[in-house]
Amino acid sequence: MTQAVVTKERSSFALVLGDCGVLVGRSLRHLTRSADQMIQAVALPVMLLLLFRYMFGGAIDTGGPSYVNYLIAGIVVLSVAFSASATSVGVASDLQNGIVDRFRSMPMFGPAVLVGHVVSASLRNILSVIMVIGVGYLVDFRPNATASEWLAACGILLLFVVAIAWIATLFGVIAGSVEAASGYAMILVFLPYASSALVPADGMPTVLRVIVENQPFTPVVDAVRALLIGTPLGNSAWLALAWWVPILLVTSVFTMRVFHRHTTK
């Protein structure tokens, strides 16, 4: 007597999640096996923190908090921006070496490739943030945030981390080569330096101060700093959301559309 085997068909949503999970795992394996990416995620942010803490800390007047307390939020934002290059290069490399064309021949969710890179980049950046804060404690960083303020700071940072990952992914998609992708990502690497990440904007020349106070990285730095060490919060948290929620939504949708056009030529 033969018995029929009933197979349960998976929903489209479950298939999409499965495809994304596989590609996230692939990107994470590349991350853990790449010494360069691990250095970018761990060693470089720590080196920057120690450099500014001990070489420039005694020469910079923050107008209130100790320089190491002032510095941590800025180094966190800098460390996230530094990883943009690795993400852009990874996406561009996938498009250049033919692996995306190979994936297209399979019954899979196309943008799963992008999701894999974004999730991997976000996790790498979260590791960087944890390392910076952890080493910060060893060099006299002393936050006075409550549990709710820590949660708010983490929420703003998570929004920022994911948005930066999508921007870096977009650069990788639109770049014509791996070298171009690395060059585009330098925009994200250098923009945080023109913010309040390392020094207060009050002492800057008028034109530079206006630029610093009205660019998207400064509200993130100011909001995280205020939540962690108690400097005036003002409207910096709302400004951070007003900048980075639209950036995340527009960039993610636009990246997937550009990727779709690029891979269906």
Share of the chain above pLDDT 90, in %: 33
What is the residue whose two structure tokens read 């197979």? 7
Residues 2, 164: Cα–Cα separation, whole Å? 56
d(CA 212, CA 196): 7
Q: Based on the number of CB atoms within 10 Å of its own CB, is 2 exposed (0-12), middle (13-18) or buried (19 or more)? A: exposed
Q: What is the pLDDT of residues 36-69, one digit of tens each?
A: 666 666 788 888 888 888 887 777 777 788 888 9
Question: Distances in Å between the alpha carbon of 85 and those of 113, 166, 193, 201, 236?
Answer: 17, 12, 16, 27, 27
pLDDT at 127: 86
pLDDT, residue 6, reads 41
Record the tokens describing residue 164, joined without a space.
């930066």
CB 92 within 8 Å of CB 178: yes
Q: What are phi and psi of 217, to 5 degrees?
A: -80, -35
**Residue 204's domain spans which residues?**
14-263
pLDDT above 50 (res 256): yes
Indicate the pLDDT class of residue 165, thresholds 50, 70 and 90. Answer: very high
Backbone phi and psi for residue 171, each to the nearest 5 degrees, phi listed first: -60, -40
Please report whether residue 6 resides in a domain. Answer: no
Q: For residue 8, name the pLDDT band (cuts at 50, 70, 90).
A: very low
Within 10 A of 217 (CB to CB), how many other CB atoms are there?
A: 26
Of residues 1 and 105, which shows the higher confidence score?
Answer: 105
Asked if residue 8 belongs to a domain, the reply is no
Q: Judge whether 9 lies within some domain.
A: no
Which of the residue ranges 111-120, 155-164, 215-224 would you say has the lowest mean pLDDT?
111-120
Q: Is residue 76 part of a domain?
A: yes
Q: How many independent structural domains does the chain possess?
A: 1
> d(Cα 178, Cα 95) in Å, to the nearest integer?
9
Q: Tell me if 139 sits within 8 A of 50, measured CB to CB.
A: yes
**CB within 8 Å of 186: residues ≥ 6 apart:** 85
Q: Over the chain, what is the mean pLDDT? A: 83
Which pLDDT does position 28 carry in this prediction?
65
In a domain, residue 60? The reply is: yes
